[in-house]
Chain A
Amino acid sequence: MPLVQTNRLHKFYGTNHVLKGIKLDVEEGEVVTIIGRSGSGKSTLLRTLNGLESIDDGTIEVDGTALVAGEGDLRALRQKVGMVFQQFNLFPHLSAGQNVMLAPQVVKGTNKREAAEIAREMLARVGLDQKFDAFPDQLSGGQQQRVAIARALAMSPKVLLCDEITSALDPELVNEVLTVVRRLASEGMTLIMVTHEMRFAREVSDKLVFMHEGRVHESGHPQEMFAQPATPEFANFIRSLH
């Protein structure tokens, strides 16, 4: 059974029908990249997966925790689904280490010493063990985003959602973040990401999902999809990238 499974997922913003029956299966250890034009519903889909957006119809199931049209244990779901945002969203009043320690301490009741240990380990995973005591405004954008990844990893999520996590970065800082994601992928982390870094997406993804007007319009293996677009919309999308 897939680790993440959505069925007939519908989402409205007022009268705007944003997700029109999404079916998505993600196996454990799989790296899935969602692509598509701006406004096609990529962010909304990711945000429903950890309950940041409610759903109007359908089901979401992550590792046995189910959400049926808004009913379900959000706290349990969110402990299994980590998220990294375009704007980093680090807590500015806390140091890098404290940012990572907070959720284990507050949500899981981990004691301070143990939480600090976890934080050091997670910061080391993103290459920032030296920055434990630095505050967010003392870090570059790339470093902040890596701390945000460490913060999400500290809760040992089953799956990590990444929504355009390099889009707010200066070009020279993009690679350090992609390197971290690449390493996570190779370590077997289940990833669902939205990105405009097409070369990177083709390189690391096991599955590519092309969204168009609130639907999964086409999905499959990245190399095959790029070589042989099955729909004119995806063909158009590829052409618009050049």
Chain B
Amino acid sequence: MMTFSLWDILRNLLNGAALTAVLSITAFVLGSLAGLAILFARISKYRAPRAFAKLYIEAFQGTPLLLQLFMLFFGLSLFGLDVPAWLAACLGLMLFTSAFLAEIWRGCVESVPRGQWEASASLALTYGEQMRHVILPQAMRVAIAPTVGFAVQVVKGTAVTSIIGFAELTKTGSMIANATYQPFLVYVLVALGYFALCYPLSWYAQRLERKFHAPRTN
């Protein structure tokens, strides 16, 4: 039987943690871009894009992430598309992220007082100009803290991709636990790994929250 030193365990887990980080960042960055597109559809003047975005958001918010991954992974292979685990993981998390961020950001846009729309309209700004110069800059300030907070959810969400065989931190952990017969030690180390990834984000989100929640008179 092979023996594992503590260093072997750590080395493997660090590799897994690195993949978790890469997956999180990829999903978050691509998800943000897609989320922005969904946001603009969701707050559009026109009914069709609004309805589409609403359905999209509700579909992703109303089903478990795990199921979304299954449908991507197994559903696409049904059509003869052989999706590798890493691609399904990235794609699934990206779509999940885009839906949630679009919804978070919509709330931020709607938190801008009506008076801001009216004042900018009375100055003859068009809808696009109002958005760009008046509404979005204010919405962005409100959005920073919850967006960073959601990044923590994405990092933890990556654990689900272990089910379809993507060798990120959790999957690596379970493989090593099986091989070493030391599940408790290994899973404690896995948990510490997630904590090390998430804590700085949570801390940063809280700091931003305090910074941007100073009362304003307007």
A contact set with B: CB distance below 8 Å: 50-52, 75, 78-79, 81-83, 85, 87-93, 102-103, 106-107, 136-137, 141, 144, 148, 151-152, 155
CB nearest neighbor in B for A87: B115
Contact A144 B218 (CB under 8 A): yes
Query: Cβ of A82 and Cβ of B129 under 8 Å apart?
Result: no
Q: Is B210 an interface residue (CB 8 A)?
A: no
**Complexed CA–CA distance, A76 and B159 (Å):** 56
Contact assessment for A89 and B218 in the assembled complex, using a CB-CB cutoff below 8 Å: yes
Contact of A107 among B113, B115, B116, B129 (CB under 8 A): B129
Measured between beta carbons, the chain B residues less than 8 angstroms from A144 are 217-218
Is B121 within 8 A of A52, CB to CB? Answer: yes
Q: Which of B119, B124, B217 contacts A91 (CB 8 A)?
A: B119
The answer to whether A78 and B141 touch (CB under 8 A), given A89-B115, A106-B133, A136-B217, is: no
3 tightest A-B contacts by CB? A89-B119, A103-B123, A78-B124
Determine how close the nearest CB of chain B comes to the CB of A182; give it in whole angstroms. 22
Residues of B in contact with A, size category: 20 to 34
With A102-B133, A106-B133, A137-B217 known to touch, is A91 a contact of B116 (CB < 8 Å)? yes
Q: Are B121 and A155 in contact (CB under 8 A)?
A: no
**CB of B134 within 8 Å of the partner chain:** yes
A164, chain B: closest CB distance, angstroms: 13
Which B residues are within 8 Å of any A CB, using their own CB?
113, 115-116, 118-126, 129, 133-134, 137-138, 141, 216-218
Note all chain A residues with C-beta closer than 8 A to B121: 51-52, 78
List 28 A-B pairs, Cβ < 8 Å.
A50-B122, A52-B118, A52-B121, A52-B122, A79-B124, A82-B123, A85-B115, A85-B118, A85-B119, A88-B218, A89-B115, A89-B116, A89-B118, A89-B119, A90-B218, A91-B119, A92-B218, A103-B124, A106-B129, A107-B125, A136-B217, A136-B218, A137-B217, A141-B217, A144-B217, A148-B119, A152-B122, A155-B124
The reply to whether B123 and A155 contact each other, CB–CB distance below 8 Å, is yes
A148 to B115 alpha-carbon distance, docked (Å): 12
Q: B218 and A107: CB pair below 8 A?
A: no
Contact across chains for B124 and A75 when beta carbons are under 8 A apart: yes
Q: How far apart are the CA atoms of A52 and B218 in the complex, in Å?
A: 20
Partner of A92 from the list B126, B129, B216 (CB cut-off 8 Å) is B216
Contact indicator B218/A137 (Cβ below 8 Å): yes
A97 to B59 CA separation, bound complex (whole angstroms): 45
- Residue of B with least CB distance to A103: B123
Inter-chain contact B123/A78, CB cutoff 8 Å: yes
Are A151 and B137 in contact (CB-based, < 8 A)?
no
Question: Once bound together, how far apart are the Cα atoms of A141 and B218, in whole Å?
Answer: 10
Smallest CB gap from B119: residue in A: A89
Within the assembled complex, what's the spacing in Å between the Cα atoms of A93 and B140? 11
Q: Are A93 and B122 interface neighbours, CB within 8 A?
A: no
Give A91 to B217 CA distance when docked, in angstroms. 11
Which of A88, A137, A152 makes the CB contact (< 8 A) with B123?
A: A152
